[in-house]
């Protein structure tokens, strides 16, 4: 399975255009949260309308997975916790999203929402426990925040990761966790776009300006993950222990071309 991971596009329409232009080259495209931009002068309702059009077009080209991030919260639950209510409209397009799971071949993808408080956090725990019981050869999570105390959550001076995610990874040992949220992690000394916690690989593509987002491509059969940004390209082999620094990519593998 060949997968594209992007996140934190923050209503940068040129970057959504780029994703749309390459989507057909992948078995699945994952957008791991922060589709909206709360600092934009464009009203959030307008942003949602425009993005739903993009997501519908992407869904027509390939399998699409969409999870929420902290910028996507537009309502409050009965318990007073913020959540991305508009994500339900993504599900109505036929796109799996917060709380859903997707099976592709022998791979199970669990799509976790951004949680704002103990009630939603408990729902995520229930979701992971549920999917842990499902038959699968490979388990991938989409979870907007990276784990705490990881290079993928390093902001340059301290970590900004999710402590609960660390515990869930230790408990369930998924194969891959796809994240975002901390834009600068791949570009700071001590940070990275990739980490390994036990048997679990964690990816955070980061964020850059311009028409092309930072992005990660991984191939589960070829056991490779590649990261691309304006700073260059790097690769890790998923069947080997992670060693830093990650070697720079000098030539694209044949399966990528």
Q: How far apart are CA 35 and CA 180, in angstroms?
A: 11
* pLDDT tier at 157, thresholds 50, 70, 90: very high
CATH number for region 2-237: 3.60.21.10
Ordered by start, the domain boundaries in the chain are 2-237
pLDDT tens across 178-220, in order?
A: 999 999 999 999 999 999 999 999 999 999 999 999 999 999 9
Q: CB count, 10 Å around CB of 13?
A: 15
- Helix pair angle (44-61, 13-22), 10° resolution: 10
DSSP 8-state symbol, 25: G
Could you give the strand order of the β-sheet that contains 107-111, starting from the edge strand earlier in sequence? 101-104, 107-111, 138-142, 176-179, 200-204, 194-197
- Helix pair angle (163-172, 118-132), 10° resolution: 20
pLDDT tens across 76-132, in order?
A: 999 999 999 999 999 999 999 999 999 999 999 999 999 999 999 999 999 999 999
The model carries a pTM of: 0.96
């Amino acid at each position: 399975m060949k997968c594209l991971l992007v996140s934190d596009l923050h209503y940068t329409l040129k970057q959504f255009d780029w994703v749309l232009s390459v989507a057909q080259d992948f078995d699945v495209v994952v957008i791991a949260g922060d589709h909206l931009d709360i600092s934009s002068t464009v009203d959030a309702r307008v942003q949602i309308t425009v993005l739903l059009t993009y997501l519908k077009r992407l869904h027509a080209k390939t399998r699409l997975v969409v999870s929420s991030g902290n910028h996507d919260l537009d309502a409050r639950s009965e318990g007073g916790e913020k959540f991305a209510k508009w994500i339900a409209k993504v599900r109505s397009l036929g796109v799996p999203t917060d709380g859903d799971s997707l099976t592709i071949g022998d791979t199970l993808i669990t799509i976790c929402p951004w949680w704002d408080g103990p009630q939603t956090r408990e729902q995520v725990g229930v979701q992971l426990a549920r999917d842990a019981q499902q038959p699968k050869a490979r388990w991938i999570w989409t979870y907007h925040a990276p784990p705490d105390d990881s290079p993928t959550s390093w902001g340059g001076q301290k970590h900004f990761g999710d402590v609960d995610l660390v515990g869930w990874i230790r408990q369930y040992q998924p194969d891959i966790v796809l994240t975002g949220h901390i834009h600068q992690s791949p570009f700071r000394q001590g940070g990275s776009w990739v980490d390994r916690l036990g048997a679990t690989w964690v990816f955070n593509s980061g964020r850059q300006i311009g028409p092309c987002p930072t992005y990660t491509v991984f191939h589960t059969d070829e056991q490779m993950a590649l990261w691309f940004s304006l700073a260059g390209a790097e690769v890790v082999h998923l069947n080997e222990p992670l060693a830093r620094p990650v070697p720079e990519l000098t030539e694209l593998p044949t399966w990528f071309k």
